[in-house]
Amino acid sequence: IQLIILPVYILAYMGLWDSFYKKVFPHIMAKLAPIYNHKVYKQKQELFSNLRKFAGPSGQLRLLEIGTGTGTNFQFYPPGCRLTCTDPNPNFRQFLLKNLSENPHLQLEHSVVASGENLHQIPDGTMDVVVCTLVLCSVTNVNKVLKEVLRVLRLGGAFYFVEHVAADRSSWTYFWQKVCDPVWKCLGDGCSLSRETQKDLEKTNFSELNLRRIRVSPHWNPTSPHIIGYAVK
């Protein structure tokens, strides 16, 4: 498999791959994200159904989404939501704006080009909810992202997540995850198939963690094992 994408490795070694792929990747995700959203629509709808209970005293919900990408989660957010979007790739912006125009019930307050590990533009304790879906698989440091999540959340605020994770280590799925991982990282903008993100969440200083495992079809896909839920600061 690695021999097949040898040209990609050569371009990466020469420092040419990242700049090229950062421009192409948003166009790929604009096609794939709606397909994925259709598969997990019911799960996401159920997950985000209680967002309002974390609204602040004013009744408005201040929501930060890390790695917003094309904005495929917008349809699940409640009306009047005060939204802050972050993504390290500025080339997603045209797709984000398109999705915003299709979801006029939302109010975009800020759109920040930033990685999840460094959200210094967001003040401490200013968010009621932080959302992160299919992002922790590709960040450089999961623990740093979760520390930033705790920092920007107010006390009693919640972190919502949907992430594909490593399969059981004794399974064939895990075997294929490890085989495909190097190629997947190149073609998935750093995405890793075999992260045990649930362990990072369990070690983070949340007061409450609600997590369950699901599998997304097709089950032979190495990204099929998922965790979904929310954690309270």
Torsion angle, alpha carbons of 41, 43, 45, 49, to 10: -170
- For residue 145, give both structure tokens: 């992202």
Question: Distance (Å, rounded) from C-alpha 133 to C-alpha 163?
Answer: 6
Q: How does strand 127-133 pair with strand 153-164?
A: parallel
What pLDDT band is residue 1 in, cutting at 50, 70 and 90?
A: low
Domain boundaries, the chain: 1-232
pLDDT tens-digit profile of 62-77? 999 999 999 999 999 9
**Would you state the pLDDT for residue 103?**
95
What pLDDT band is residue 209 in, cutting at 50, 70 and 90?
A: very high
pLDDT tens-digit profile of 114-172? 999 999 999 999 999 999 999 999 999 999 999 999 999 999 999 999 999 999 999 99
Torsion angle, alpha carbons of 217, 44, 162, 222, to 10: 10
State pTM to two decimals: 0.93
* Amino acid at site 32: L
Question: Distance (Å, rounded) from C-alpha 163 to C-alpha 94?
Answer: 24
| Fold (topology level) of 1-232 | Rossmann fold (3.40.50)
* Amino acid at site 106: L
